[in-house]
Structures are given as structure tokens and as C-alpha cells.
Chain A
């Protein structure tokens, strides 16, 4: 905190230029000629796309002239350049309509992060030691190309693996083509909070392997089974906008909103009624409601059609799901179930949604389908105020993938197995892009060993996280604001939307966008690769793709192509203005008629030894941990706990009292797969037999702001999966807790209730 620093800052911001003190290094640097024409002090707004979560919100970036230290042809110098200053929602974008969530706001810090990887790195020390040496791009590209061509020449291309966060649009197309052309298997996508189960369920029920879009704005009744749709799930901004309308948008009409979850989430906090059902029994509850509706003839059972056909016992009116039986299994009073059923039937359009923890159970798929059936019964599928699907997003990625191949890509744990066992064939080379499975997967999957087992690992990330620190070669990616971006929102809008955006600013460091790196490699390797990827740079590819899209949709023709391309760039994407609601196909067309038998959720850890359900949840600020390195996110208080810069363990006040645990005590949470320590947070809104913990902290290595901060709940998760999709059942672990001393809990908020002294005097 010395004065001089402040002077630099203030001088650079022009706030108090007069204070500018002399003798600062800036003064000794060379000054480059600006590469763009700028008017100092005047803000220009450039479109961009938020990449921090799968929602795909459109951005506009406030760019103003500033002086940055940049490297140009190997020299460090000062250059006046357009600097992104603020992110706002793109008012024209159909998903977020000019609004933005807290995470999106902080996206700015990805670009200016002090611990970004500024140039290509080559491992110089032991793996994982974090010792790298800086190298030039040519060397880096050559190195990677060499590795890949070696594989090709030895006919081992199948041993090339590509690990990435879920990709969409032209990036996906590029990667798929790259791998296909080089004879490698499809990319393994990994995100801790994936919705594979729901997509599968929707495919089975509605023939749409896609996340739903809810027309909350016109709904009169909403029941959510664990779906944190206002916080972190699916398309939070779009859903929040609709929620606002649902509450106060229609004069005189205000929908009722019921939340079913064992721990009050941000979304649950806004519900009119909170129901705590036993984890894993949400599907049962949904069918209980359906039972009453059918039984009381509020809706014809037959009306449910396809989705219901998949639920065993539906035609018989769900005999096993009478309120009393459901009460036994879920712990929700029969009276409540009946009441909810009547309310739902009485207030159409009504929406039932399910996501999050309920789907992260071993019976998640079944629960999802049960809820789908309930929606179908209520007749709210494909109806205004009901459950909708964004117009076939499969069609949206410009150019339907020529490279699309049969079969799902290998799931992460399978890839790990392959890398460890070497069967069916060893993994010789691994490319990692923007995924951090070492942090975000259960220890039992042994991802770290698996990666260490791969002879050559290259990372295309921007930060040294737990995964990329294991790499032999790091080719740092641009920050989103520095890159050409495109995206195809999967949900959140009822318009067909394909976003595209040119870079909002010049790169600060000598980094290179992942697509351009792959294109370079392709060019270097030549042969089928360069044939499959003929473009010089990614923007060319985007250009081609979007012009093609425009032509296919008849919005433009060969003549107007360039104007079309300019237009979509200028407004941040292309979206069909007229709203077409995509009616779900008949599920039987997907070819699956046989009903699924209900199954009870499996938990690891017996009730005696491990008395508590362990509920990790996505943090409002740090999401799945991929944002833990942003100081803004670290310092913004969590809305419910008000905690900053750390993790905590949420525990019911009565339970805490019984175990003699006070706010801030250090707890040890142990499962069969490990233990962690974190301070206790007394949390009134959680079931007595549940322990909840936010995901995001507990990074071993993830920049100065996140490293060795807090604990990582994922590190004690059981490796249970949902059998059909093979996606991780992260809510299926049981734990035991014990007090081990005094902890450190940094809270922004003080009193828990409006009149705390009343508690004090009790």
C-alpha cells in the first residue's frame, strides 16, 4: 500500500493526473504507435459474448482509450489502446436483453488478471512443480505439431485425446473437424455442473436433447425441484427477467412459486413456499402430485401422452404414489402434496422444473422424467407460460457438422481409465482446453494420476490451474474479450439465436486464441487436416459459417453476404426475430417406448457412520470454481451466507446446538472418500440431516487469489454416477462431521434476523 502505487493508478486513470510522480518505470518504457484509432475519453460500445457459463448471454463492452504495457515483437512497451472498462448486457440479445448476472459483470477481470499466462510456456521442472520456461509461439506451435505428427506417423492418432469444457457453435465444429481429420476420438467434454441427465430425460420424454426454456413470464404457478434457476442453473439471467415479470409484470396477477429442496438456495429464498423433501425423492413427490391430479380428475391421465408413457404405472393412476405413501418416502406431509396438486391444477399454466441436486442422484434420470410427465399432465409443454424449447439449436450452429460422428464422446472417467490402464489403446497425447477436471472431479476417478500417466500433455488455458500445471506445454488462450467469439444459446430464448462477436480489444499479452492455434497446427501438419480446416484464421471460419447460416435461413443471399456478416457482427449475433415455439417431437420417434421403473437413490456411506446427506452446491459467485480466481467474485458476499474469501459448512441451528457447534467453529467433514475442514455457518434454512457446502474454493493452484483458500467439497465426493448417462451423482455422498477447533469465517453481514436482540435476550 505505498503512496506511489496509488499515484500510478490515479495517474493512469487520469483521475488525478497532477499527482503523477516522476521516476516510474512506465516513463522508461518505449511507446508504441497505437494500432487502432481512438478518441481519448470517449467510450465506444462493442458487442461480445459472455463465456463464463453455458447460458451464452450477449454483452456490450465499454471500450475507452488507455495506456497499457504490451509486448510487441518481443519488446515491452507502452501503447495507447482501447481497453475494456465495463461489461453490460447486450440490449438486443434475445437471451439476456441488456441484463447481466454478477459473474458476467466480473468477466472483465479475466482479461486484466495479473496471473494470466502471458506467453507460451514449456515445462522445465518436475510435472506439477509449476516450473516453466517462457518460449516463443513458433517454438510452441512447432513443438505441438511435432508431437501430433509423431502420433500420425506411428499410426497412433487414436491415442490423441482432447479434453475440453463443453463447446458450442463454430468452436465445437473446429475441434470436431480437427480431431476427426487427425483420426482421434471425439473430444471429451467435462464440466462439473453438466446437465447431461436432463438433456437425456428431455430427449426421452420430448425428443429434445436440450435444456428447456421456461415461459415464467406467463406462468401462474411454478414448482421447482432443486432447480436454482435464479442463481446458477441453465440461463439465470433470462430466467430472472421472466421471474420479475411473473412477480410484478402483470398487474393484479402474481404467480405462486414453490421450491422443493433440502437447503434454501438463492432461488428457494424467493419462493412463496419452501418444501424440504428427502434428497433423491423429488421424482416421487412429483408423481405424488400427479397421482392426486389424476385421482381427482383435475386432468385426464391420458393427456400426458408420450412423457407419461415412460413412467411405470401411469396408466393405472400411479397406485404406488398415493399421498400417504409419498409422505413416507419424501417426508412431505400428505396434506401438502394434495394441496399443491390442487393449486397446480387450478392455476394453469403451471410449470414444474427439476435440476441440480435431484438430477445428481443415482436415480436422477427417472426423477427428471417423472417431472417431465407431470408437466405433460398439466398440459404445459410447448404452451405459453409452460415448458418450451429454443428452436432447434442443433440447426443453429452454422454448417451442420460434417464431422459429426456417431456415438457419444468418451466420458471423463472412461478417458481416465484408458489413460491409466492403456486399454483399449494408451493415451499418448492429451490436449486440455479450459477444463479443470483435476479440481472438479471426485478423487476416486484418479484424474491426476491419469493425466500424469500421459506422456505429452498440452494445455490451451489462460491460467495455471490444477490441470494445466501438469502440462508439458502451455499455449495460452486469449481472454474472451480479446477473441473472436460465437455461441448458440441452448435455451433462455424462444428465438433461434446465434451470437458472434469480434474481439473487443487487442490482446494484452502474447497469447493466441485456441481456434487459431488449431488452425496453425492443421496448416503445419497439412494433409487431411489442412483440407478439413481450410481457413487461415478463426474469423474467416465464422464469416463462412454465418453467411451460410444466413443463406440457409433465407435471410440473405450471396450478394448481401458481406452486409449480413457486418450486421451480425455489429449487433453481436443473428437472431430470427419472429418467435417460433418448437413443439416437442413424439418421444416414440426417438425410439424408446418402454417405461422406466422407479428406483431409490443410492448413497455412499451408511446412516449410522455417516449421519448427514452431503449437499455441494454451485456458488452464486464462484460458480463451479472456475471463477474463484477473480477478486471481485471472491470479495462479493455470498447472498445467503454473506461470506467472502472462503468456504463454509452450512448446518441447521438445532443440529449445531445438539453437537455443540457454534458459528465459525472449524468442522471436519468426512466421507468414505476423504475429509476436509471448513468453518461452520449456522444456517436456518437447511434440513437437520443435511450438510451443505458451496463449490468453488479449495484450489491447490489457481492464481494468487484462489490458491490454498478454503476447502473443495468435490474432493470428498463418492464416485457414484447416474447409470444411463454416466454423469457424476454429486449429491449422493453421506458424511459425518466433528468439531476440531476455531475456524476463520469472514462474513460481510452481521445480524441473522431483523431483530437479533430478541434472540439475544431469550
Chain B
């Protein structure tokens, strides 16, 4: 791309400074959806969780499905951007921030469900370890407590990881803005000036974070999977779950990222920054994950089928040919049959192509979470205790609300923060210079007359 730093500033700061009617319209629509979900939620808290469709034995359904789904989505950002940073993939620069934001918001939304799905949500704080009048600490053997720690770690890490590279950009906004914005950004940019030391520490911190956040991300979704794997329930109690979930998480994460980028790109007119190249590369990643996902589900199903353990087979058949089979095969189409050709054939791996693939994958992955949870619950060991599940409007509204919330938070973020990391972008645009000597040569030949430049530490 051939954009001067000034142009970049101009393009990327525009969304921050100028607010169009489209912004307000979007916010309005999203807010109304969220309000509906809020009402549904309060209705639930007031009357009891019975207003959901959950029953015995399907004690978990949409609630935990959404939980797992959103935590999965959260693996879009931090993990991917961390990997790309460590791999020093130069094309990452316009992508990373979009990605990291998804993580933060998705975590917040997902992390909400363990609370609102409680039978007595007003007592959620009993899960937190603090000295209390009940004289009893939480049960650290419970995977739910692991969730509590893993998710809070991950959310802290991701927030910080996201914040670090924003600071210089906020400083930039500070210099460019006036009035309340000036005050606001002066505060949030933490007195950033850009001394080499600051830059160095910042980048060092980024490196450490990138190293730390990857194992955290992996652990988070492993633990989410252990919520199921630790319970002796047919098809839950499985060793493959942790990697299977992590894979699925990254899978759905990338899909979410692609969709987000496509929207941003159109909405904020950043066509020149997020180009087909990015979608293609992410598309390739997505393709890999799709194949990997398929590999996992095949190995899971195959081992189950060979094992032929009666209670597991009950679950197995209910998904293959039983009552859940329509959902199951839809999922296979959404996650594999449709995306793979779209992503594998170069002709189709366009922006539109990848976006279509991603959308089906989002649907497919939501179904996957659902199909992991409910069929096992409704087909436990004793056939007499078999059951079924049908959602009510409450759960559906709340689920819709989560998606709206995601978009709203995203829109607001793009309002207050340049959605592309400007300084990193500039850094990327600069011709990479390996050593100062060369740089001097490269920068200006006349200077050769002067010995000083060459004399430096040679």
C-alpha cells in the first residue's frame, strides 16, 4: 500500500472523530434487541428459571451452549494475534486489533452465562473465593471454579494485551483532538510520549504477553471442555474433549474475526487497509481449522462407535439417526461440507467467499456446542430417565441479545479507539531496515560524505 503516515492518520482517525447517522441507527437497533433480552432475563430471574425450556434431565441447554460458544469465539483474537505476532507475520498488522477486541467482548458475554444460568442468580458471588459469613470457601475441585479462575485470568490478560498497543494510538488521538476528547485521551494515553525506552518496554511487554496468553487461551477452553469431560456422562467423559474444544474455539473464532473485519471494512471504509490478502490468509487458516475440526469429530465418533458402549451408543444414534440427527447433519454441512470448497478453491476464496464460509461456520459451531451438551444429558445411562428438550422464547431472546451485545460493544469500541493499530501499521509500511549502516545508506546517500554515520560502532 502506498499511504503516507498523514493519510493513515486521516483514514483511521476519521471513525473516531466523525459520527454519522448510521452509527446512531445501528446503536439504536442493537440497544432495542438488548433491551428485549434484558426484559426476558429479568422475567426469568423474577419467576424462576422454569421459564426456560430446560427440564429433567436436560438441565443445561441454551445457557451453557451460549457460554461455550462465546468463550470459543473469544479465541479469535488474542490467540490468533499472539500467534501472528510471534510468527512475525507482517500481514497481521491491520488484523490484530479487530481480533483482540472480539476476545474481550466475547469473554464478557460468555462469562455472563455461568451467572445468569444459576437457579438463584442473585447468589452468584458465592462462587467467588472470599472470606464470608458462611464460613465456607468454594469447592476448588469443581470445574466451575476452574472456569472462574481461567476466565478471569484470560479476560485480564486479553484486556491488557489489547490495551498495550492502543496507548500510542490514544496519544496520537490526543494530539489530534481538542475539547473533551483532548482531556479524555490525555488521561487514557497515560502520558505517552514515545521515548525509545517506552517503545522498547511496550514491545517487550507485548512479547511477554504474547508468550503468556497462548497457554492461557488453550487452558481456558480446555477447562471449559472439562466442565463436561469431568462428569461421568456418556460422550462427555472423553479425553479428546480438551483439544477438540480448543480446535473448535479457534475455528469459530477465526470465522467471527472474518465477519467482523468484513463489516468494519465496509462500515468504516477501510477497503485499502483490509484487503483480499487478509481475508485469503485468514481463509487458509480457517480451512485448516475446518479440516482439523472434521478430523476431531470423526475420531470422536469413530472411537465411540467401535467401543459400542451401550449408553454411549444411545447418545451416538440419537445424533446420527435419532431426534437430533437433523441438527447434527446441518452442523456437518455448516462446518465442513460448505466451507471447505469455498476456502480450498482459490477462485472462491474471495472476501465474499470467506465471509459466507464464516457465517455458516458460526451457525455450525453453535449447533456443535448444543449437540455436545443436550443429547448426552437426555440419554444418560438409565433409559427410563431419558428426556427431551425444547427451548422457550426466553432463552431464544437472551441468545439473540448476546449477539446484539457483541455488535454493540464492537461498534462502540470502534468509536473510541482506532480499529487498526496505527503505529504498528506505519511500522509495517516502513521498509524493513536491518542495520543502521544500511539504513543510513538507504536513507540518504549525501550523508556518506560525513564519516560520522559510518563510524558508528562498526
Contacts and interface: CB of A to CB of B under 8 A. Distances in A.
Chains A and B touch each other in the complex, with CB atoms below 8 Å apart: yes
Interface of A: 1, 642, 749-757, 760-761
Quick one: which of B384, B386, B387 has the most chain A CB within 10 A? Answer: B384
Quick one: which of A749, A752, A757, A761 has the most chain B CB within 10 A? Answer: A757
A750 B47 CA distance: 28
B387 A750 contact: yes
Nearest to A754: B383
Contacts of A751: 314, 383-384, 386
Interface string B42-53: 000001101000
Contact of A750 (B310, B313, B316, B383): B383
A757 B313 contact: yes
B318 interface: yes
B48 A1 contact: yes
B295 interface: no
A756 B386 contact: yes
Given A1-B48, A760-B322, A753 B317 contact: no
B337 to A, nearest CB: 24
18 contacts: A1-B47, A750-B383, A750-B384, A750-B386, A751-B314, A751-B383, A751-B384, A751-B386, A752-B383, A757-B310, A757-B313, A757-B316, A757-B317, A757-B318, A760-B314, A760-B322, A761-B317, A761-B321
A760 B318 CA distance: 8
A760 B375 CA distance: 15
A757 B310 CA distance: 8
Interface in B313-339: 313-314, 316-318, 321-322
A760 B317 contact: yes
B437 to A, nearest CB: 74
A755 B322 CA distance: 14
A642 B310 CA distance: 23
A749 B310 contact: no
A755 B48 contact: no
B39 interface: no
A752 B382 CA distance: 11
A754 B311 CA distance: 10
B321 A750 contact: no
B263 interface: no
B374 to A, nearest CB: 14
B204 interface: no
A751 B379 CA distance: 9
Interface of B: 47-48, 50, 310, 313-314, 316-318, 321-322, 379, 383-387
A754 B381 CA distance: 9
B314 to A, nearest CB: 4
Contacts of B317: 757, 760-761
Contacts of A749: 384
Given A761-B317, A761-B321, A756 B48 contact: no
Contacts of B383: 750-756
Contacts of B316: 757
B327 to A, nearest CB: 16
B165 to A, nearest CB: 50
Contacts of A755: 310, 314, 383
Given A1-B47, A751-B383, A757-B314, 4 more contacts: A750-B383, A750-B385, A751-B386, A760-B321
A642 B385 CA distance: 11
Q: Is the interface of B mostly helix, strand, loop or mixed?
A: helix
Nearest to A642: B384
A679 B327 CA distance: 28
Quick one: which of A642, A750, A753 has the most chain B CB within 10 A? Answer: A750
- The 7 lowest CB-CB distance pairs between A and B, nearest first, are A751-B383, A750-B386, A757-B314, A749-B384, A757-B317, A760-B317, A757-B313
Contacts of A753: 383
A651 B318 CA distance: 25
Nearest to A755: B310
A147 to B, nearest CB: 52
Nearest to A749: B384
Nearest to A752: B383
Nearest to B384: A749
A749 B385 CA distance: 6
B436 to A, nearest CB: 72
Nearest to A2: B47
Contacts of A756: 314, 383, 386
B68 to A, nearest CB: 25
A750 B383 CA distance: 6
A645 B368 CA distance: 36
A253 to B, nearest CB: 32
Contacts of B385: 750
A615 to B, nearest CB: 25
A380 to B, nearest CB: 38
A760 B310 CA distance: 12
Contacts of A750: 383-387
Contacts of B310: 755, 757
Contacts of A760: 314, 317-318, 321-322
A636 to B, nearest CB: 15
A752 B384 CA distance: 7
A168 B383 CA distance: 46
A643 to B, nearest CB: 13
B261 to A, nearest CB: 44
Contacts of B314: 751, 755-757, 760
Contacts of A642: 384
Contacts of B47: 1
A343 to B, nearest CB: 33
Contacts of A754: 383
A754 B310 CA distance: 9
A757 B386 CA distance: 11
A752 B314 CA distance: 13
Nearest to B315: A757
Nearest to B48: A1
A55 B245 CA distance: 61
B132 to A, nearest CB: 19
B97 to A, nearest CB: 47
A753 B47 CA distance: 37
A269 to B, nearest CB: 15
B203 to A, nearest CB: 57
A756 B48 CA distance: 34
A16 to B, nearest CB: 14
A754 B313 CA distance: 13
A760 B379 CA distance: 13
Contacts of B387: 750
Nearest to A760: B317
Contacts of B313: 757, 761
A750 B316 CA distance: 17
Nearest to B310: A755
Contacts of A757: 310, 313-314, 316-318, 379
Contacts of A752: 383
A97 B267 CA distance: 82
B376 to A, nearest CB: 13
A755 B314 CA distance: 8
A319 to B, nearest CB: 50
Nearest to B387: A750
A757 B323 CA distance: 12
B318 to A, nearest CB: 7
A755 B379 CA distance: 11
A754 B382 CA distance: 7
Contacts of B48: 1
Contacts of B386: 750-751, 756
A550 B47 CA distance: 61
A16 B318 CA distance: 44
A682 to B, nearest CB: 15
Contacts of A1: 47-48, 50
B141 to A, nearest CB: 29
A432 B318 CA distance: 55
A755 B321 CA distance: 16
A467 to B, nearest CB: 38
B392 to A, nearest CB: 16
B390 to A, nearest CB: 14
A17 B50 CA distance: 25
